[in-house]
Amino acid sequence: MEIHARHPRPIPLGTKELGPISNLAPFSALIISIVLVICFFVRFYILEGFLIRRLYGSIYTQMSELNRRGFVNHHIAGATKVIILIVGAYPFVSVAFCKGPSFNTPFVHGSPVTLGDILIIIAQMLIGIYIFELIYRMKLSPVAVMHHVGTIFIGQAAIAISLRPLREPDAYIEFILCCVWGAFDAVFELFPHVAIILYRIFPERHNFLSKVFLFSCFTTALGTITETVVTMWLFGSMWDRWRLAFKVVTPLLHLAFSAAQVHGSLVFWRMYRRQQRFQREADSEAKDGFVGGESSVSYYQSNSQS
């Protein structure tokens, strides 16, 4: 009986000759400028112009300027990530995990728009909302600033090194890894935007908010774990295609992103614990008030009978 050695099957991405990402790559500055202008128009003329006030009324108008900006930003970031997921899911999965499709594959049969074109656009959309947040928000934690700045530079660098004359041989798979980071960010960092919006709308519903923040903590932690597994699997599966610089830098970058995401999970865990404490205090005050009210009723009844 002849025994054949079993070799692991290469992943589709490791066998592709991906080539240039997109003909739109040299126009990245124009694309991100358009994204930022759209963010401004949506923020200034639609959200702050009339929509936020009509939807939330006094809840919004009574906020401080600091909280208003954060509230508006979470709406823009959340809505943009939903659009990214809807538009980018098919191109991302096709190029990263399916056999055959590459950056030059038409988005729709017979269309001049390619999968790479769509990936370039959604990458600039994700980078754009981080730039918008850095400029628009009045207060950001140092960890959030480092995460956003790192995402902006790494995402743009992955596109830049694919262009002539820099054109690095492993720039295309580095761009795909950046898309993996972006995809997990869009999926698992979407609900936290909803959580903060709910926190501003229902500040006194402590039991409800504790559940929302606990769910946010678990989703961000799950996202970090899943992202690490998928990213390192792709990274290891294409080990022979990486140059030494990328073999060193890529895990360090992922470690930095993971640290920022873990910090976010810890923040939601602390918010969950605080809402639990507020709920216990509210229950205690309600119980004390009920006991005091019951004693007053008993005293009144006894005096009335006498």
Give the range among 16-20, 116-120, 161-165, 236-240 with minimum mean pLDDT: 16-20
- % of residues, the chain, pLDDT over 90: 51
Query: How far apart, in whole angstroms, are the C-alpha atoms of residue 267 and residue 178?
Result: 25
> Mean pLDDT over residues 166-187, rounded?
83
Inter-residue contact 189 to 81 (CB < 8 Å): yes
Model confidence band, residue 122 (pLDDT cutoffs 50, 70, 90)? very high
pLDDT, residue 174, reads: 84
**Does the pLDDT value for residue 278 go beyond 50?**
yes
Q: What is the pTM of this model?
A: 0.86
Q: Does residue 91 have a cis peptide bond before it, meaning omega lies within 30 degrees of 0?
A: no
pLDDT, residue 286, reads: 75
**Does the pLDDT value for residue 202 go beyond 90?**
yes
Model confidence band, residue 14 (pLDDT cutoffs 50, 70, 90)? low
pLDDT, residue 244, reads: 80
What the block records as the tokens of 5 is 């050695």
Q: Which residue has the higher pLDDT, 168 or 76?
A: 76
- % of residues, the chain, pLDDT over 70: 86
pLDDT, residue 16, reads: 61
Query: How far apart, in whole angstroms, are the C-alpha atoms of residue 155 and residue 158?
Result: 5
What the block records as the tokens of 176 is 């795909």
The secondary structure of the chain as a DSSP string is: ---PPP-PPPPHHHH-------TTGGGHHHHHHHHHHHHHHIIIIIIIIIIHHHHHTHHHHTS-HHHHHHHHHHHHHHHHHHHHHHHHHHHHHHHHHSSS--TTSBSSTT-S-BHHHHHHHHHHHHHHHHHHHHHH-S---HHHHHHHHHHHHHHHHHHHTTSTTT--TTHHHHHHHHHHHHHHHHHHTHHHHHHHHHHHH-TT-HHHHHHHHHHHHHHHHHHHHHHHHHHHHHHHHTGGGS-HHHHHHHHHHHHHHHHHHHHHHHHHHHHHHHHHHHHHHHHHHHHHHHHHHHHHHHHHHHHHH-
Q: Whose CA is closest to 198, among 50, 80, 71, 52?
A: 71
Model confidence band, residue 296 (pLDDT cutoffs 50, 70, 90)? very low
pLDDT, averaged across the chain:
86
pLDDT, residue 18, reads: 63
Burial class (CB in 10 A: 0-12, 13-18, 19+), 164: exposed
The residue written with tokens 């999926």 in the block is 187
**Does the pLDDT value for residue 117 go beyond 90?**
yes
**Does the pLDDT value for residue 235 go beyond 90?**
no
Spatial neighbors of 278 by CB under 8 A, at least 6 apart, are: 206
> Mean pLDDT over residues 258-266, rounded?
89
> Mean pLDDT over residues 291-297, rounded?
49
pLDDT, residue 131, reads: 96
